[in-house]
Amino acid sequence: MAMEVTQILLNAQSVDGSVRKHAEESLKQFQEQNLSAFLLSLSNELVSNEKPVDSRKLAGLVLKNALDAKEQHRKSELAQRWLSLDIAVKAQVKACLLQTLASPVPDARSTASQVIAKIAGIELPQKQWPELIGSLLSNIHQLQPHVKQATLETLGYLCEEVSPQVVDQDQVNKILTAVVQGMNASEGSSDVRLAATRALYNALGFAQANFSNDMERDYIMRVVCEATLSQEVKIRQSAFECLVAISSTYYDKLASYMQDIFTITAKAVKEDEEPVALQAIEFWSSICDEEIDILDEYGGEFTADSDIPCYYFIKQALPALVPMLLETLLKQEEDQDQDEGAWNLAMAGGTCLGLVARTVGDDIVPLVMPFIEENITRPNWRQREAATYAFGSILEGPSPDKLTPIVHVALSFMLTALMNDPNNHVKDTTAWTLGRIFEFLHGSTVETPIITPENCQQILTVLLQSMKDVPNVAEKACGALYFLAQGYEDVGAASPLSPFYQNIIEALLTVTRREDAGESRLRTAAYETLNEIVRCSTDETAPIVMQLVPVIMMELHQTLEAQKLSSDEREKQNELQGLLCGCLQVIIQKLGAAETTKYGFMQYTDQIMDLFLRVFACRNATVHEEAMLAIGALAYATGTNFLKYMQGFYPYLEMGLQNFEEYQVCAITVGVVGDLCRALEDKILPFCDGIMTQLLKDLSSNQLHRSVKPPIFSCFGDIALAIGENFEKYLIYAMPMLQSAAELSAHAVADDDDILEYTNQLRNGILEAYSGILQGFKSSPKTQLLMPYAYHILQFIDTLYSEKDMDDAVMKTAIGVLGDLADTLGSHVGPLINQSVSSKGFLEECLSSDDGLIKESADWAKLAISRAVSG
């Protein structure tokens, strides 16, 4: 069955494009025509030591790609295809792979390891290939180091691919024993030791039982700590990665090792190579993450407790930890501010310092202040920058009482530095620090204001001046202005910014037009800051915002004039259009919301809509998500008048709903459908057939990202609210979908917080759909059509109540639906409601809720139910 594929595989790596393309085509064809033969050929290629290493490597890679894909839908399709193959073929492929682990060629072994893990990921959950782990473990006792290394690597990948539940404890013990032995300092081969250390990283998730046993844990920890002192940098790095993983998975088991770990990490941060030192810092950041979460739960309103106790490791380590981190701040790279993805010791150290501040609060301040005072005026820019950076890092966490006096002193110093410091790096960090000051210590909730009428003008003058500085500094100045404006968000009529409003807007517009505004994302920052300024405008400054409308429209118009763009230019045009549409979105929202500005603004809507449609027309198959978002705002502002735009807009709406690949676009479009429903009310009816068809298609697709599903359900509710009893014809499609989703979500096994959160979003969407449909049909002669679904809806609410894992949002919506049922179906559901547990226990619970919104819904539901029951 197998055939020679060597040449094709080599051709597939040819430098000659056409040769390569032809070879790739042949491989694809082969795979489609005869999968068994294809896989056999590839595994034969991989196992043959006579074949060239390049063709073997690629054979393994192609094999891997035939078993696994990133995209979930494709992934399960490939798994099914593998499972359905002839058992003899699979056995032969697996035999080749296991045999390859003994190959003298490292690349062949490594590729085979990964493929074995992929097959294990498919077969072990099906209780197939039970002998795999046993046969791998028997390899460990082989003397040849390269076989041992390949086997450990395979075990590591295997632990990454399969979930711990699939492997029984006995085998887990054996895997861990093999791995930890491989890590041991007595292991002669450093390749074996590295492979073992990397394998442990993946196997940690399997070691719950072992970490609960003191002796086993001590042993594992000792081996890991020893490995951090290995001669090999890669082993050290990998061992620290294990420590990081242990810190988050087994935080509560670390107490007795912290002293040693501190010594090890401090040494690494101080002396080791950067990749190792970064991981050592990461250990402490990760401990901060854990303690912040725990303390968050301690402080939480309802639980005031956490499953895991806080050991206050950071607090205890503080006197030594802070100096260690401050040292790293002095190790900046030149020009790191120009590189968005940069990550080095100084950045990691400052980030960790910020986390430490959030963990311990006030206690950090006296430990950092001497460093700042010592360095902030030094001639060496590194010292000034490090001091500023340290200050900026600790502004979140400590209490305003502690920080405000210091900030008062620091503020004018910072403003001067931003104007006069000769070093861009220092100015960049200074502007960022000002932004942090405004973000955390300025706003309506802060008792003692940092910004006073006296210094406000000075601050603005400096920030506007800095917006003319080099792009990275100007960008940070925009950020500071953003937070400054945000702090005045709910200040009311007399905003201290009002006198400068015109100047601020002009300065920001000037920034957007800078030649170099493409650098450091300066243009984006300027537009987003402009948006924040618009959002925070008051009645007083509304006329200035109104004047901005034609300006932004003109800018958008100009982007549409450009013709015959290169793909690079097209991307830039697209980005700029996004910024301008985003700006219009905020303006529309602002001006459309107030009666005083609404009518004046209406004169522009025709032209704005025209521009949006032209932005859409710029593209072929996709819609611009920012334009879509802005249209949602426009619909609110125009209300039923939006009807006149519907004909032109509808095709793009449909296009947005069909966009599976860019699921955010799809999600935004679904939201816009809701906006349209509320704006057009029953006038949306003629478009509903098309919209519902798309939404139902979206729901049935397993390609669509799951996060879009809850909003689609809510959107059913929006449509039903808008068109009332006309929703009748969609009931037979929508109700079964809601019903099956409800069943799934009611009993979701949600042991993982993310899954629980998603499940609750889904439940909320489903309940919002029910609410909308019930309220939509209320007082219509057709309410009877909903009777067949009443039982299921009640059962859904009953189940949610008994599952006890819904969040407040779901609780509020669920009790509302109970009321809606009673309200719409009246005495017909009286007996049903009387029988349900929700009508008693759940209602009682909601009535006594601390959450005002839940209580309000419950009060209403109680009234509706009492009417229905007495009906």
Partner 1 sequence: MADEDVSPQSSYHRDAIKTSVHNTSAQRRRQLAVAVGKERREALIRTKRLCREAHFDDNEASLEGDMNIEEERAVLNAQASQIIEDLKSATTYQGKGAAQKKVEALRALRRLLSKSEFPPVKAALQAGAVPLLVQYLSFGSPDEQLLEAAWCLTNIAAGEPEETKSLVPALPLLVAHLGEKSSVPVAEQCAWALGNVAGEGDELRNILLAQGALLPLARLMMSNKGSTARTASWALSNLIKGPQPNAATELIRIKGVLDAIIQHLRNLDDELVTEVAWVVVYLSALSEAAVGLLVKSDVVHLLVGKLAASERLHLLIPVLRSLGNLVAADSYMTDKVLVVGHNTTDQILLGLIKCLKSEHRVLKKEAAWVLSNIAAGSVGHKELIFSSEATPLMIHLLSSAPFDIRKEVAYTLGNLCVAPAKNAEQPSVIVHHLVALVNRECISGFIHLVRSADIQSAKLGLQFLELVMRGMPNREGPKLVEREDGIDAMERFQFHENEEMRTMANGLVDKYFGEDYGLDE
Q: Judged by CB under 8 A, does residue 156 bind partner 1? A: yes
Q: Judged by CB under 8 A, does residue 487 bind partner 1? A: no
Q: Judged by CB under 8 A, does residue 641 bind partner 1? A: yes
Size of the site for partner 1 (CB under 8 A): 92
Q: Judged by CB under 8 A, does residue 529 bind partner 1? A: yes
Q: Judged by CB under 8 A, does residue 678 bind partner 1? A: yes
728-762 exposure pattern, b = at least 16 Cβ within 10 A, e = fewer = bebbebbbebbbebbeebbebebeeeeebebbbbb
- The radius of gyration of the chain's CA atoms, rounded to the nearest angstrom, is 32
Residue nearer to partner 1 on the CB measure, 89 or 192: 192
Which ranges in 49-144 belong to alpha helices (H)? Answer: 53-65, 72-83, 87-100, 106-123, 132-140
Site residues for partner 1, 370-389, by CB under 8 A, read: 389
Q: What share of the chain is helix, strand, coil (3-state, %, to 5)?
A: 80, 0, 20
- Cβ-contact 286, 244 below 8 angstroms: yes
Cβ contacts of residue 47 below 8 Å, gap of 6+? 96, 97, 99, 100, 103, 108, 112
Q: Judged by CB under 8 A, does residue 565 bind partner 1? A: no
Residue nearer to partner 1 on the CB measure, 100 or 529: 529
Q: Judged by CB under 8 A, does residue 607 bind partner 1? A: no
Q: Judged by CB under 8 A, does residue 599 bind partner 1? A: yes
What is the CA 174 to chain-centroid distance, rounded?
A: 36
Q: Judged by CB under 8 A, does residue 860 bind partner 1? A: yes
Q: What DSSP designation does 682 have?
A: G
Q: Judged by CB under 8 A, does residue 363 bind partner 1? A: no
Residue nearer to partner 1 on the CB measure, 148 or 812: 812
Among 19, 22, 24, 696, binds partner 1 (CB under 8 A): 24
Q: In the complex, what is the shortest distance from the CB of residue 256 to partner 1, in angstroms, rounded to a whole number?
A: 27
Q: Give the interface segment with partner 1, choosing from 134-142, 169-177, 208-216, 475-483 (CB under 8 A).
A: 475-483
Cβ contacts of residue 800 below 8 Å, gap of 6+? 746, 763, 806, 810, 814
Ranges assigned E (strand) in 646-799 = none
Q: Give the interface segment with partner 1, choosing from 79-87, 259-267, 490-498, 628-636 (CB under 8 A).
A: 628-636
Q: In the complex, what is the shortest distance from the CB of residue 593 to partner 1, in angstroms, rounded to a whole number?
A: 9
Cβ contacts of residue 42 below 8 Å, gap of 6+? 5, 59, 60, 62, 63, 66
Residue nearer to partner 1 on the CB measure, 61 or 750: 61
Cα separation, 520 vs 537, in Å, equals: 27
Q: Which 3 state secondary structure label does DSSP give 395?
A: coil
Nearest alpha-carbon partner for 249 in 187, 206, 215, 195: 206
Q: How far is CA 608 from CA 392, 505, 581, 601, 656, in A?
A: 41, 21, 10, 11, 19
Among 1, 4, 7, 13, binds partner 1 (CB under 8 A): 13
Among 68, 161, 241, 290, binds partner 1 (CB under 8 A): 241
Angle at 289 between CA 283 and CA 290, to 5 degrees: 95
Among 475, 555, 698, 798, binds partner 1 (CB under 8 A): 475
Cα separation, 695 vs 682, in Å, equals: 18
Q: In the complex, what is the shortest distance from the CB of residue 87 to partner 1, in angstroms, rounded to a whole number?
A: 30
Angle at 318 between CA 315 and CA 324, to 5 degrees: 150
Q: Give the interface segment with partner 1, choosing from 220-228, 343-351, 605-613, 794-802 (CB under 8 A).
A: 343-351
Q: In the complex, what is the shortest distance from the CB of residue 126 to partner 1, in angstroms, rounded to a whole number?
A: 25
Q: Which 3 state secondary structure label does DSSP give 509?
A: helix
The mark string for 397-426 relative to partner 1 (x by CB under 8 A, - otherwise) is: ------------------------------
Among 429, 541, 760, 839, binds partner 1 (CB under 8 A): 429
Q: In the complex, what is the shortest distance from the CB of residue 110 to partner 1, in angstroms, rounded to a whole number?
A: 6
Q: In the complex, what is the shortest distance from the CB of residue 611 to partner 1, in angstroms, rounded to a whole number?
A: 18
Among 386, 451, 816, 818, binds partner 1 (CB under 8 A): 816
Site residues for partner 1, 501-520, by CB under 8 A, read: 520
- 707: buried, middle or exposed (CB in 10 Å: 19+, 13-18, 0-12)? middle
Cβ contacts of residue 625 below 8 Å, gap of 6+? 578, 656, 662, 664, 665, 668
Q: Judged by CB under 8 A, does residue 290 bind partner 1? A: no
The mark string for 712-741 relative to partner 1 (x by CB under 8 A, - otherwise) is: --x--xx--x--------------------
Q: In the complex, what is the shortest distance from the CB of residue 518 to partner 1, in angstroms, rounded to a whole number?
A: 13
The mark string for 309-338 relative to partner 1 (x by CB under 8 A, - otherwise) is: ------------------------------
Q: In the complex, what is the shortest distance from the CB of residue 470 to partner 1, in angstroms, rounded to a whole number?
A: 14
Site residues for partner 1, 440-469, by CB under 8 A, read: none
Q: How far is CA 805 from CA 244, 702, 750, 760, 784, in A?
A: 31, 26, 9, 9, 32
Q: Give the interface segment with partner 1, choosing from 180-188, 264-272, 339-347, 683-691 (CB under 8 A).
A: 339-347
